Amino acid sequence: MRPSVRHFLRLSDWSPAALTSLLDAARQLKRQPTPRSQPLRGQVLGLLFQKPSMRTRVSFEVGMLQLGGQALYLGPQDLQWGVREPIKDVARVLSRYVDGIVVRTFAHNDVEAFAQYATVPVINGLSDLTHPCQALGDLLTIREHLGRLRGVRVAYIGDGNNVLHALLEGCALMGLPLTYATPRGCAPQPAVVSVARRLAQRTGVRVVGSHDPRQAVRGADVVYTDVWTSMGQEAHAQRRRRAFRGFTLSPALLAHARRQALIMHCLPAHRGEEITDEAMESRRAVIFDQAENRLHAQKALLVRLLKRG
C-alpha cells in the first residue's frame, strides 16, 4: 500500500479535528450539491456489496455523480472472494481499475484485508463490527438540528450492534456523552466499549451501559434505536423479539427523555418492533434527515479521500 493512501474503516482511526473538517465540508456540499468544480471528474468508485443496501448504494452512486465521477456496483452474485480468489488478489486488481473502493460485507476482517492490499482508498460501507458512514451522517444530523455536538447527551436503546459500535466511537471522539441500554446477552463488544471509553477520557465525557431503557433515556437530548434483528440473524428473529420486550422506542419511553429530544433511527425500521409508528412520525423525529445526510457526509468523505492534487 502506498504510504499516502488513507482509508475510512472505523471512526476511531480519525481525529476529532479531521472529523470536524469532514462535517464542515458536508455542510457546504449540502448547500451546493453539485459543485461547479466537479472535484471527482473522471474518477470511478467501486462498490463491492456482499450485503445489499438501498441507502448505501444510492447515496454513494448519487454522490459520485454529483461530484463529477461514476460508481460501479458489484453485488453478492459478482463477489466470491475467498472462494474463487483471495481478497488480496481482488483488492490489488480492482485498485488498477478504480480510484476508490467501498466494501459492504459481513466480516470486518474482510474490510481490513482490502485496505491492507489495496493501493486506493477503501471505505467501510458496513461490516458486522461497525458502520462508520452511518455515524458520520448521524453526527452531521445532530449538529444540524442542535447547533453543536459537544455536550449533547445521546441515548441508544436496542441491540449492541455495528450501529452502536460506530456511535460509541463517534460520540466519544466528538465529546457527546452516550448512555446505551441493551437486553442481557446483547451488549456491544467489550473491546469496542474499551476503545470508546479511552477516547471519552480525552474529551471529558462518559460512556455508560445498562439494561434499563428508561434509565438510559433519562435527560437525553437524542434517543436512537435500530432494528433488533440485523441482516444475517433472521433465523433468530422470534427469540430476539422476546429478549427485546420493553425496548420499543415509544412515546411512553420517550417521556423519560428531554421534552424536545430528537428521535433517530438508521433505517430500515420495523415499525411496531423497535420503534412505534407514532414515534417514527413524531415532529421530533429526524430519521429522514439522517438518511439524506448520509449522502452529504459521504460526499465530503469521497472528496477528502479521492480528490487529486
Same structural domain, 150 and 248: yes
Same structural domain, 97 and 161: no
State residue 102's pLDDT score.
Answer: 98
Known catalytic residues? 104, 131, 134, 226, 266, 294
At 290 the three-state DSSP class reads helix
Low-confidence ranges of the chain (pLDDT < 70): 1-4, 82, 230-236
Q: Give residue 59's identity as a one-letter amino acid code.
A: S
Same structural domain, 165 and 274: yes
State residue 2's pLDDT score.
Answer: 42
**Count of structural domains within the chain:** 2
| Residue-wise pLDDT tens digits, 217-234 | 999 999 999 999 866 666
The helix or strand, by DSSP H or E, that contains position 87, with its residue range, turns out to be helix 87-94
- pTM for this model (two decimals): 0.96
CA angle centred on 63, ends 132 and 9, rounded to 5°: 20
Same structural domain, 140 and 282: yes
Same structural domain, 203 and 97: no
| Residue-wise pLDDT tens digits, 4-60 | 579 999 999 999 999 999 999 999 999 999 999 999 999 999 999 999 899 999 999
Residue 2 lies in a domain: no
Same structural domain, 75 and 194: no
Domain that holds residue 144: 132-290
CA nearest to 102, candidates 309, 298, 300 = 298
State residue 4's pLDDT score.
Answer: 54
Residue 257 lies in a domain: yes
State residue 76's pLDDT score.
Answer: 84
At 12 the three-state DSSP class reads helix
